[in-house]
Amino acid sequence: MTDYNQISKSIKTKAKSLGLLECAIIPAEFLSEEKEPFQNWLNKDMHGEMSYMGRNIEKRLDPRLLYENAKTIIVVLQNYFPGKTQIDTEAPILSKYAYGTDYHFVMKDKLKELLQFIQDEIQPCNGRPFVDSAPVLERAWAKKAGLGWIGKNSNLISVEQGSYFFIGELILDIKLPYDDVKLVRDHCGNCTKCIDACPTKAIVANRVVDARKCISYQTIEIKGEIDKTLKGQFENRVFGCDICQDVCPWNLKSEPHNEPNFKPNSKLLQLTKEEWQSMEKPLFNELFKSSAVKRAGLKGLKRNLEFLKKT
């Protein structure tokens, strides 16, 4: 295929057929604007125990060092906003992103299918999908692709979609027709709802989150004990946290996804407070066998549940 306009259109049509929310095609290059703020964040130890964040810094900033002969990055978004949420208002709250099948697998499969399409229909090439599991600054690439701006809570926010979406990338060793990108200006204005609502005050500056104070970090990333100084501040969040997104006015635009893999087990949404607290291995495996919650394991989930109990 040699028609540049048709190439771009066909790739985006394929991405849409895969259920992806957005698709942008941009050149692989050095992220010069990200170097200083990212290094400052690391220097202040705001990444906590996530030591991997401090490794491969140059690769994070330049995908050409991460993937040999990288020339093009295709950035995609995948909606995960659920149509239904947990029923028991007193039950421990699970982050919406963890309702269904682990997004790493779902999105990588879609990106592999998109890669196969490009190889078969556009041009022979090599490529690799990335979904939040390699040194790639995903929000920076999505912003650079014109898919949104970085909000005060450090999430990518889209005028059309809000922020309840995953970001993925397909890095290729061929040049494709690049989008004529128009960067999205910051639409947060004087709004501070996310900053005000964060119960642990993890948003320490505009677009800066101290992971050590973040409920998501404490309930997912750390392997030892949860920070005792944060006791009583989790607002019943057992795995992850959506508070800064829930209060964001731009998420009033969020529409429920239609991705079958993200559809939650009905039993999960019906789980009572008592059933959460008494959960054992059989129920855990039934509810979370393909979920991101498996990352914590039953032991980690029980640690989180115990932390939520009032002293």
Q: Which residues are part of the catalytic machinery?
A: 132
Q: Using CA atoms, how far apart are residues 304 and 36, in angstroms rounded to an integer? A: 34
Q: Using CA atoms, how far apart are residues 134 and 168, in angstroms rounded to an integer? A: 11
CB atoms within 10 A of CB 141: 25
3-state helix, strand, coil in the chain (%, to 5): 45, 15, 45
Nearest to 251 by CA among 183, 168, 188, 169: 188
Tokens of 146: 């014109």
Nearest to 156 by CA among 168, 142, 145: 142
Beta strands of 46-196 (E only): which ranges? 72-79, 93-94, 127-130, 149-150, 156-157, 165-172
Q: Using CA atoms, how far apart are residues 111 and 106, in angstroms rounded to an integer? A: 9
3-state secondary structure of 26: strand
